[in-house]
């Protein structure tokens, strides 16, 4: 059993940052190296998102990842992320059906992977799941706006709340999640006006991804920020590196060196004393 490395007092750091007027920096991570990079770079909180389904497991939607698969990745990140809070993401199908299943899954992310809190998607129908998980002593982060677990095809990744009616639904959902006891909210792919209105109307930290600049914090997907993924990024992604190109170039140069006998060099191998080589040759006849 893994225990939270940063301790139960970890989540108040989000509220403290908000009180200090400092934007909260959340980043996803999916394994030991990405967790270490996030922590060493000084982000405030790490989310092992179910986006792992697509970024690291090669599935076509986030709906395909299982609890067991995400737990393996979350445990690896927890080994790396020892000083800042770690959020587990409840996978599709693991919490929606009953309060009991929601609590059981959330408990696995805390007990088996050492998470400080869990995140789940949606407000409609999820409020009693949130209340039940909190009653079990586990902090919950809500998620409104674009809900990737409801998306079944690439065309589904579109902004939500661009008309007043849908925007009102999203804002109401955010307020209901706060009332249900969520410690923070992720707001994804909504007009900046809607991100700002949610931030005005709730008191818990609002962490945006494609929700404009008025939210109390920002989250990005590790692979998007570093340019590790394939294909086009969403409008809200700013790439700070072209890591995929760097990696492909490095592997290509190594393959060329192998094929042209430039790798390995003498210095990249182990030596053996001449007399031992002689003795070995004699033994081999």
Q: Is 150 exposed, middle or buried (0-12, 13-18, 19+ CB in 10 A)?
A: middle
Q: Closest distance between ligand KIV and the C-beta of residue 233, in Å?
A: 12
- Residue tagged active-site, from 188, 268, 275, 276: 188
The two three-digit tokens of residue 118, written as one number: 């869990």
DSSP state of 233: P
Position 71 contacts ligand KIV (CB under 6 A): no
Cα dist. 137→81, 97, 248, 257 in Å?
A: 22, 20, 45, 56
**Least separation in angstroms between CB 14 and ligand KIV:** 14
Residue with Cβ nearer ligand KIV (47 or 117): 47
Q: Measured on CA atoms in the order 265, 270, 276, 281, is the torsion positive or negative?
A: negative
The residue among 4 and 61 lying less far from ligand KIV, judged by its C-beta, is: 61
Distance CA 126, CA 50 (A): 18
Which tokens belong to 38? 């996030």
One residue of 44, 50, 116, 178 binding ligand KIV per CB under 6 A: 50
Identity of the residue, 31 or 89, whose beta carbon is nearer to ligand KIV in the bound complex: 89
User: Closest approach of Cβ 56 to ligand KIV, in Å?
Assistant: 11
Minimum CB separation from ligand KIV for residue 21, in Å?
22
Tell me if residue 81 falls in helix, strand or coil: coil
Q: In this complex, which beta carbon is closest to ligand KIV, that of residue 39 or of residue 61?
A: 61
Place of tokens 């790490």: 46
Site for ligand KIV in 177-236 (CB under 6 A): 186, 188, 209, 219, 221
Tell me the torsion sign for CA atoms 232, 214, 147, 57: positive
Least Å from the CB of residue 119 to ligand KIV:
7
Site string for ligand KIV, 12-41 (x = CB under 6 A): ----------------x-------------
Provide the token pair at 143.
Answer: 């998620």
Evaluate whether 140 touches 116 at the Cβ level (below 8 Å).
no
User: Is 188 considered catalytic here?
Assistant: yes
Binding site for ligand KIV (CB under 6 A): 28, 47, 49-51, 89, 186, 188, 209, 219, 221
Catalogue the active-site residues: 188
């Amino acid at each position: 059993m893994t225990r939270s490395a940063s301790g139960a007092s970890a989540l108040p750091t989000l509220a403290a940052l908000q009180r200090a007027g400092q934007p909260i920096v959340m980043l996803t991570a999916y394994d030991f190296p990405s967790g270490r990079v996030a922590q060493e770079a000084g982000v405030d909180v790490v989310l092992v998102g179910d986006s792992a389904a697509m970024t690291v497991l090669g599935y076509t939607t986030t709906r395909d990842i299982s609890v067991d698969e995400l737990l393996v990745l979350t445990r690896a990140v927890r080994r790396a992320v020892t000083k800042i809070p770690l959020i587990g993401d409840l996978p599709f199908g693991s919490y929606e059906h009953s309060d009991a299943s929601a609590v059981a899954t959330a408990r696995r992310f805390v007990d088996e992977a050492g998470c400080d809190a869990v995140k789940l998607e949606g407000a409609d129908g999820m409020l009693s799941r949130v209340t039940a998980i909190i009653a079990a002593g586990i902090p919950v982060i809500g998620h409104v706006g674009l809900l990737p677990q409801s998306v079944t095809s690439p065309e589904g990744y579109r902004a939500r709340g661009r008309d007043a009616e849908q925007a009102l639904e999203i804002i109401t959902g955010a307020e209901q999640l706060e009332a249900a006891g969520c410690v923070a909210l992720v707001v994804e792919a909504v007009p900046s006006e809607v991100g700002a209105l949610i931030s005005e109307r709730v008191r818990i930290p609002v962490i945006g991804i494609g929700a404009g600049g008025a939210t109390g914090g920002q989250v990005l997907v590790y692979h998007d920020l570093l340019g590790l993924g394939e294909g086009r990024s969403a409008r809200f992604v700013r790439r700070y590196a072209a890591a995929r190109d760097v990696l492909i170039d490095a592997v290509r140069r190594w393959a060329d060196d192998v094929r042209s006998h430039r790798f390995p060099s003498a210095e990249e191998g182990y030596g053996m004393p001449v007399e031992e080589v002689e003795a070995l040759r004699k033994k081999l006849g």
